[in-house]
């Protein structure tokens, strides 16, 4: 397997494979699986193809005609190829493939073009059946490999065949999977699977082989993650057991509501884990509005009671400020220790953000360093050097999807010993993603919303098809404001100055299906102007976006929370975590420019109190288009888990581990987080069990090698950054 390809293939082929496909060894080549298989009888009609589609078809030559071109020198060869009832036209200029003869079978690869209003396949790459690979061509399924300019699919195919012939089969392939594990899950040997993936005789062959090869990937991945969990568990932290009569009890007494059952259960889970020396690593996922903040606050209070400090890391300044404000409000005098009206047994809550004035920052840092601040709320600024904690006991990361493992680790490193870590996310994460990308965390889920919520009714407003609905939308908004409620209008862009500025927070936007000729997205500044001069004239309307000074942002949010503003026209700065229970209407302009999860997040900003909410997704997309249907799906369900799935699908991130870019060597090729849930769960259990044994991987050198290979894989970086 470790043999270099230039020892078995021609030097030129080996060089091209190394350079263009990163295939260096026999192992690399055998792990370079077909992308799909061509088979007879599956050729599509040319009419059904779109101009620009790249296709490879297996077909038979039906007719060949060559004629001189009229307006320029040279000849034109037209070839009709077909397969059953379907046929298509190929054209070649000044070239005549010697083997392009009627009756010959071949593979034709190219891009669908258009000429004088008719579609054609201009000078495709073709590979015709010749004597020496007759046997291959007789097969039902012909493998099509990820290929490059100089290494076509058929070169790969021939190289694999060469290897097979030279070695007399794949008998030389050692199996990394322990035999009893294979038996437990009914998996074929690696040699058999490789033979079937490269030279299948039936679709079932391929399916079985893929299943087995996915196991290799899933197990390797899970072993890596399990090893990481194990290493983390070996480094002890500090136990922070609850202390009756402290801050936690005071928080519970001050809460204006009863905890939901879910909040209580997760709370107990956290309390027990914090009381252990082994650092907690937990992911708390919960629907938007399920009340995660309270759960986190109670955990922070427990840690403060035990003499430690807790840090709450938020993705935006608006959110950090809001958290600090609401925690202070909830704790009252207990959060003002050291101040005149502060309670002696209380603590201090400090806010630390990048935009603070130097003096304020100095003061905050001092309180963090001397331990007088028990609760520290901040943005990325918390991660900076110079922020030293007296005794960091708990790190809470709010809205995880904006933070990477690296950042989490940077904060974790600020503890004298590894602190406990709680990661919170409102983007529901499909189970498999939690098991892989977040594989080093245990998960808890809040499924229930606090009772008494009004719920959100959502609808799509298709501007082109129902222009009247837009007026109706603004009327509804006015009605809500007249009833004492408030509203958000969200636009994808800030506007005014030129340049394609984006909100810094907008990292994950809508699917990239932008056609180049689309008009620019609607902008906050323009929309706010148009609304206050038109349909929303007379209402108190303000704008909020990332280009405002932090104090201005903070002041606007405060005024909105105090009901001094009726309508907030904003970018997605309101997407995450903003909590104004009196807001009931969310109008999203150019809704098609946002991703599914983002829309769900935005919608979560309304109906956080007892009044029912309304979310209107305004879009020019046709209701029948894929985009229109995506919006309809968001409007039709409030099940965040279902939407998270849809989001993965539409963002073509079903393969969250990285889109299968052809031509890149990688360990993770076949595994799909959406489709292979069962398999991943089984592999996770096997990996955990294997590492729990005394000898671990010591008796499984093959597996150890696979794990080592993954570690050097570029895609492993994805795990780090996810
Ligand atoms: P999220 O999980 O989206 O972060 P929050 O923690 O911001 O949700 O909570 C949403 C709102 O629900 C807040 O106004 C919070 O005070 C309120 N809330 C939290 N828990 C409860 C509860 N058990 N009963 C009633 N309201 C609650
Ligand atoms: Mg929140």
Name the residue at shortest CA distance from atom 4 of ligand 1: 292
Q: At what angle do helices 247-254 and 292-305 cross, to 10 degrees?
A: 150
Average pLDDT of the residues in 378-395 = 89
Q: Are 702 and 176 in contact (CB under 8 A)?
A: yes
- Asked whether residue 486 carries a pLDDT value surpassing 90, the answer given is yes
Query: Residue 44: what pLDDT?
Result: 66
Higher pLDDT, 702 or 123: 702
Q: What percent helix, strand, coil does the chain show, rounded to 5?
A: 40, 20, 40
Of all protein residues, the one whose alpha carbon is nearest to atom 10 of ligand 1 is 289
Q: pLDDT-based confidence at 384, cuts 50/70/90?
A: confident
Q: How far is the CA of 473 from the centre of ligand 2 (A)?
A: 28
With contact defined as beta carbons under 8 Å apart, do 379 and 398 qualify? no
pLDDT at 162 over 80: yes
Average pLDDT for 562-585: 87
Distance (Å) from CA 434 to ligand 2 centroid: 19
The contacts found for 541-544 with CB under 8 angstroms, 24 or more apart, are: 541/565, 541/566, 541/567, 541/568, 541/569, 542/567, 542/568, 542/569, 543/568, 543/569, 543/570, 544/318, 544/568, 544/569, 544/570, 544/571, 544/573, 544/574
Mean pLDDT of 377-383: 88
pLDDT of residue 101: 82
Tell how far the Cα of 561 is from the centroid of ligand 1, in angstroms. Answer: 15
Residue bearing the CA closest to ligand 1, atom 19: 291
Ligand 1 neighbourhood includes 263 CB (under 6 angstroms): yes
Confidence of residue 637 (pLDDT cuts 50, 70, 90): confident
Q: With a 6 A CB cut-off, is 582 part of the ligand 1 pocket? A: no
Instruction: State residue 198's pLDDT score.
Output: 93
pLDDT of 655 strictly over 50:
no
Residue 661 has pLDDT above 50, yes or no: no
Instruction: Mean pLDDT check: name the lowest of 238-252, 554-568, 662-676.
Output: 662-676
Summarised one tens digit per residue, pLDDT across range 66-81 is 888 777 788 888 888 8
Residue 431's pLDDT is what?
64
Residue 538 predicted with pLDDT over 60 = yes
Strands 420-425 and 442-446: unpaired
pLDDT at 452 > cutoff 50: yes
Residue 352 has a pLDDT of 94
pLDDT at residue 152 in the model: 79
pLDDT of amino acid 652: 45
Axis crossing angle, helix 153-167 with helix 11-21, rounded to the nearest 10: 120
Q: Model pTM?
A: 0.64
Tokens of 85: 């009832």
Q: How far apart are CA 707 and CA 698, in angstroms?
A: 12
Is 425 touching ligand 1 by the criterion CB < 6 Å?
A: no
Q: Find the 613 Cα to ligand 1 centroid distance in Å.
A: 16
Please state at what angle helix 317-331 crosses helix 550-561, rounded to 10 degrees. Answer: 50
Q: How many CB atoms lie within 10 A of CB 264?
A: 13
For the stretch 500-535, pLDDT in tens is: 444 333 333 343 343 445 688 999 999 999 999 999
Give the residue-averaged pLDDT of 581-598: 91
> How many beta carbons lie within 10 A of that of residue 72, not counting itself?
8
Q: Whose atoms come closest to the Cα of 605: which ligand?
A: 1
Burial bucket for residue 325 (CB in 10 Å: 0-12, 13-18, 19+): middle
Nearest 10 degrees: Cα torsion 382, 384, 387, 388: 100
pLDDT of residue 673 exceeding 90, the answer is no
Ligand 1 atom nearest residue 452's Cα: 25
Pairing of strands 373-378, 281-286: unpaired
Tell me what pLDDT residue 94 has: 76
Ligand 1 pocket, mutate which of 260, 289, 402, 604 (most atoms under 8 A from CB): 289
For residue 615, the cross-strand partners are 458, 586
CA distance 354 to 364: 12
- Residue 257, ligand 1, Cβ within 6 A: yes
| Residue 644, φ and ψ in degrees, nearest 5 | -65, -35
- Give the pLDDT confidence of 208-244 residue by residue, as tens digits: 999 999 999 999 988 988 887 777 777 889 999 999 9
287 sits in which H/E element: none
Q: What is the pLDDT of residues 602-616, one digit of tens each?
A: 888 887 777 889 999
CA 292 – ligand 2 centroid, Å: 6
Q: Which atom of ligand 1 is nearest to the CA of 398?
A: 4
Q: Give nearest CA residue, ligand 1 atom 18.
A: 291
CA distance 94 to 90: 13
Instruction: State the Cα–Cα distance between residues 489 and 524, nearest whole angstrom.
Output: 9
Please give the mean pLDDT across all residues of the chain.
Answer: 82
Top mean pLDDT of 338-342, 407-411, 418-422 is at 418-422
Residue 291 Cβ contacting ligand 1 at under 6 Å:
yes
Cα(625)–Cα(663) distance, rounded to whole angstroms? 32
The pLDDT of 147-173, averaged and rounded, is 84
What per-residue confidence (pLDDT) applies to 504? 37
How many angstroms separate the alpha carbon of residue 560 from the centre of ligand 2? Answer: 18
The structure tokens listed for 697 are 């991987």
The helix (run of H) or strand (run of E) holding residue 232 is helix 203-234
Which of 395-399, 456-460, 667-671 tops mean pLDDT? 456-460
Nearest to 128 by CA among 103, 100, 148, 89: 100
Q: Which residue has the higher pLDDT, 414 or 259?
A: 259
Residue 156 and residue 145 in contact, taking contact as beta carbons nearer than 8 Å = yes
Ligand (nearest to CA of 579) = 1
The predicted structure's pLDDT at residue 526: 95
Confidence of residue 713 (pLDDT cuts 50, 70, 90): low
Q: What is the pLDDT of residue 26?
A: 92
Distance, CA of 279 to CA of 638 (rounded, Å)? 34
Mean of the pLDDT values across residues 443-457?
A: 78
Write down the pLDDT at residue 366.
94
Q: Which of 293, 453, 597 is the best mutation target for the ligand 1 pocket, counting ligand atoms within 8 Å of the beta carbon and taking the most? A: 293
Q: Give residue-wise pLDDT tens across range 298-343.
A: 999 999 999 999 999 988 888 898 899 889 988 888 888 777 776 7
Tell which one of 428, 450, 600 to mutate to probe ligand 1, the residue whose CB is within 8 A of the most ligand atoms. 450
Region 276-298: mean pLDDT is: 88
Overall average pLDDT of the 423-436 stretch? 70
The pair phi, psi for residue 245, each rounded to 5°, is 80, 10
| Sign of torsion over alpha carbons 524, 530, 536, 541 | positive
As a whole-number percent, the residues of the chain with pLDDT over 70 amount to 84
- In the predicted model, what is the mean pLDDT of residues 358-364? 91
Whole-angstrom Cα Rg for the chain: 30
Check if the beta carbon of residue 27 is closer than 8 Å to that of residue 190: no
Point out the least confidently predicted range of 269-283, 560-574, 701-715.
701-715
How many whole angstroms from 324 Cα to the centroid of ligand 2?
Answer: 12
């Amino acid at each position: 397997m470790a043999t270099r390809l230039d020892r078995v293939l021609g030097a030129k082929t080996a060089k091209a494979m190394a350079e263009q496909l990163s295939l260096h060894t026999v192992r690399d080549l055998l792990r370079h699986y077909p992308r799909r298989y061509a088979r007879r009888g599956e050729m599509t009609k040319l009419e059904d193809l779109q101009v620009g589609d790249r296709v490879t078809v297996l077909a038979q030559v039906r007719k060949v005609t060559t004629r001189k071109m009229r307006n320029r020198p040279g000849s034109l060869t037209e070839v009709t190829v077909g397969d059953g009832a379907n046929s298509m036209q190929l054209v070649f200029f000044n070239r005549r493939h010697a083997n392009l003869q009627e009756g010959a079978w071949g593979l034709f690869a190219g891009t669908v073009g258009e000429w004088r209003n008719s579609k054609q396949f201009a000078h495709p790459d073709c590979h015709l059946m010749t004597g020496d690979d007759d046997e291959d061509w007789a097969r039902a399924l012909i493998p099509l490999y990820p290929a490059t300019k100089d290494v076509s699919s058929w070169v790969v195919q021939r190289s694999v065949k060469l290897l097979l012939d030279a070695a007399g089969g794949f008998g030389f392939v050692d199996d990394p999977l322990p035999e009893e594990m294979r038996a437990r899950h009914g998996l074929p040997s690696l040699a058999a699977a490789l033979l079937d993936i490269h030279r299948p005789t039936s679709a079932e062959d391929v399916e079985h082989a893929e299943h087995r090869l996915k196991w290799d990937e899933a197990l390797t991945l899970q072993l890596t993650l399990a090893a990481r969990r194990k290493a983390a568990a070996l480094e002890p932290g500090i136990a922070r057991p609850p202390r009756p009569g402290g801050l936690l009890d005071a928080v519970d007494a001050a809460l204006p509501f009863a905890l939901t059952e879910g909040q209580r259960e997760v709370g107990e889970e956290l309390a027990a884990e914090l009381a252990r020396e082994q650092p907690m690593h937990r992911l708390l996922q919960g629907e938007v509005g399920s009340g995660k903040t309270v759960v986190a606050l109670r955990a922070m209070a427990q840690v403060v009671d035990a003499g430690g400090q807790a840090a709450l890391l938020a993705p935006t300044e608006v959110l950090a400020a809001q958290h600090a404000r609401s925690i202070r409000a909830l704790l009252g005098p207990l959060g003002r220790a050291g101040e005149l009206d502060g309670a002696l047994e209380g603590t201090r809550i400090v806010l630390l953000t990048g935009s603070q004035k130097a003096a304020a920052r100095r003061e905050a840092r001092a309180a963090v360093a001397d331990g007088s601040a028990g609760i520290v709320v901040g943005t990325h600024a918390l991660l900076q050097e110079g922020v030293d904690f007296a005794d960091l006991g708990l790190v809470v990361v709010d809205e995880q999807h904006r933070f990477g493992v690296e950042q989490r680790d940077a904060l974790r490193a600020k503890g004298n010993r590894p602190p406990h870590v709680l990661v919170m996310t409102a983007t529901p994460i499909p189970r498999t993603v939690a098991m892989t990308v977040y594989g080093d965390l245990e998960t808890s889920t809040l499924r229930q919303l606090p009772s008494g919520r009004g719920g959100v009714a959502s609808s799509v407003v298709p501007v082109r098809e129902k222009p009247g609905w837009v007026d109706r939308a603004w009327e509804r908004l006015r009605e809500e404001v007249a009833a004492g409620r408030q509203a958000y209008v969200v636009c994808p862009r800030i506007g005014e100055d030129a340049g394609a500025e984006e909100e810094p927070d907008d990292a994950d936007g809508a699917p990239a299906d932008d056609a180049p000729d689309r008009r620019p997205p609607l902008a906050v500044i323009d929309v706010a102007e148009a609304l206050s001069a038109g349909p929303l004239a007379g209402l108190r309307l303000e704008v909020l976006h990332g280009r405002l000074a932090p104090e201005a942002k903070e002041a606007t949010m405060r005024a909105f929370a105090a009901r001094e503003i009726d309508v907030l026209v904003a970018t997605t700065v309101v997407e995450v975590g903003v909590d104004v229970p009196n807001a009931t209407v969310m109008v999203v302009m150019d809704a098609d420019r946002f991703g599914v999860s983002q829309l769900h997040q935005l919608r979560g900003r309304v109906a956080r109190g007892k009044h029912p909410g309304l979310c209107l997704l305004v879009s020019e997309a046709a209701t029948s288009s894929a985009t229109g249907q995506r919006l309809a799906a968001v409007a039709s369900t409030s099940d965040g888990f279902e939407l998270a799935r849809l989001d993965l699908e539409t963002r073509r991130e079903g393969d969250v581990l990285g889109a299968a870019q052809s031509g890149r060597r990688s360990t993770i090729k076949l595994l799909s987080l959406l489709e292979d849930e069962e398999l991943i769960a089984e592999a996770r259990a096997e990996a955990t069990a294997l590492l729990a044994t005394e000898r671990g991987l010591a008796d499984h050198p093959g597996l150890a090698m696979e794990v080592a290979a993954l570690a050097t894989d570029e895609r492993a970086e994805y795990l780090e950054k996810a």
